[in-house]
Structure 1
């Protein structure tokens, strides 16, 4: 069973290809809000390198957040489009689980959300032990600070086998929306304008 794994929740554009438990390919490109320009060519490159078409896949697994609003939209929309166009099954997984899948130990996984805030969850071997939420660094206990892994190009650790194991099938691809965890500035402004009118 061949799976295409995609995550765009951070400034890392990640494309991986697995056949059962074996990694066939992995491409990571770091950029700033330019995933849209590179995601489809990267997917095409990976599939072409292994003489595959999207239709040959058993499933597409996409990280649905939490994370960057712009980045998440690119990954989720691309995965939905590929699934819809080919009939290949679509699966979702937490981006925090995806990006920390290579860690064995229990850790507080933290993706920077600016202003000393982060998208976070306590994860052990791909299992979320609490819940994904936005927290402030000041809220963390000493124990949590010791377990903290700040996601960055140097700390992202991937194991596609864990991602495949934790995937959830998306029954209705049209209803799949990214897990933003909080309003964007645009949404906040819209709400403000509505309350004033």
Structure 2
């Protein structure tokens, strides 16, 4: 009697190259089968495919047997984000499997929160707020706002965008005051990611006395892109031909403010 060896059919490949970390993970049913996070390298185009091959081999997974691919679409490094998105679309086409794009900032928020707040989750309090940060230079950050309570994926409260950090902190003050008036003020604001420039005591001073804040340096791990991707795959896939990076841009008000400031300095 011959027993046919069946390949796993519920595994997903996750890719994210939007930051300085190249993250690749193989996930299955919201658990990590294998993960490789290569930090400190910006030449992701050279390393991505060999690392994908290494992750698949280490997990005993054939590309054509995957249930799908999850890819971080940014925002973040323009060049870096394009690398993962292009690779994901090419592999999805070659292996004839679905692909979904996920927010790299949401993955950053989830991973940073789970790494930093194991003792902070309390069902008797309102959800904590998470502010992911990636430096965008000139006082700007790629950022967003999420709420999280427990181990489920963070709920989005504000869109991914590139924001002037000084203005963003003031917006957070207003959002906190509104939440307090509605009786659902968060217990803590978690600033996670590239926090050294944008989450100093000085930059967060306007938030002092409103609620607790915590700044936690964190580098993105591929598993969180994978977990978010599994959620999205359960609701359907993206069209691989129209899937593009999310580069984001300044809001109209911020762009006008910058223009007026630059004009006045001439």
Superposed pair shares fold, TM > 0.5: yes
Mapped to 2, the partners of 1:35 and 1:28 lie a distance apart of 11
1:156 paired to 2:219? yes
Residues 153-192 of structure 1 aligned to structure 2 (within 5 Å): 154-156=217-219, 158=221, 159=224, 160-166=226-232, 169-182=236-249
Cα root mean square deviation, aligned: 2.4
Report if the CA contact (8 A) 2:26-2:59 is conserved: no
List runs of 5+ in structure 1 lacking aligned partners: 184-197
Following TM superposition, by how much is the alpha carbon of 1:40 offset from its aligned partner in structure 2, in angstroms? Answer: 0.3
Mapped to 2, the partners of 1:73 and 1:2 lie a distance apart of 24
List runs of 5+ in structure 2 lacking aligned partners: 1-9, 115-127, 148-152, 177-187, 195-215, 251-266
- Alignment-derived partner of residue 19 in structure 2: 10
- Alignment-derived partner of residue 212 in structure 2: none
Any idea what the Cα deviations from partners look like across 1:115-163, whole Å, max 9, x if unmatched? Answer: 1101111012332211111111111126489725241494136544344
Following TM superposition, by how much is the alpha carbon of 1:81 offset from its aligned partner in structure 2, in angstroms? Answer: 0.5
Alpha-carbon distance change, 171 to 22 in structure 1, aligned in 2, over 3 angstroms: closer
- Alignment-derived partner of residue 147 in structure 1: 189
The more displaced of 151-160 and 34-43 is 151-160
TM-score (norm 1): 0.83
Mapped to 1, the partners of 2:232 and 2:240 lie a distance apart of 18
Which structure has the larger Rg over C-alpha atoms?
2
Displacement over 6 Å in runs of 4+: none
1:65 paired to 2:74? yes
1:109 paired to 2:132? yes
Mapped to 1, the partners of 2:26 and 2:67 lie a distance apart of 11
- Alignment-derived partner of residue 53 in structure 2: 44
Alpha-carbon distance change, 50 to 84 in structure 1, aligned in 2, over 3 angstroms: same
Mapped to 2, the partners of 1:63 and 1:177 lie a distance apart of 10
Report if the CA contact (8 A) 1:126-1:166 is conserved: no
TM-score (norm 2): 0.62
Mapped to 2, the partners of 1:116 and 1:169 lie a distance apart of 37
- Alignment-derived partner of residue 190 in structure 1: none
- Alignment-derived partner of residue 42 in structure 2: 33
* SS in structure 1 of the partner of residue 219 of structure 2: coil
The more displaced of 122-131 and 68-77 is 122-131
- Alignment-derived partner of residue 92 in structure 1: 101
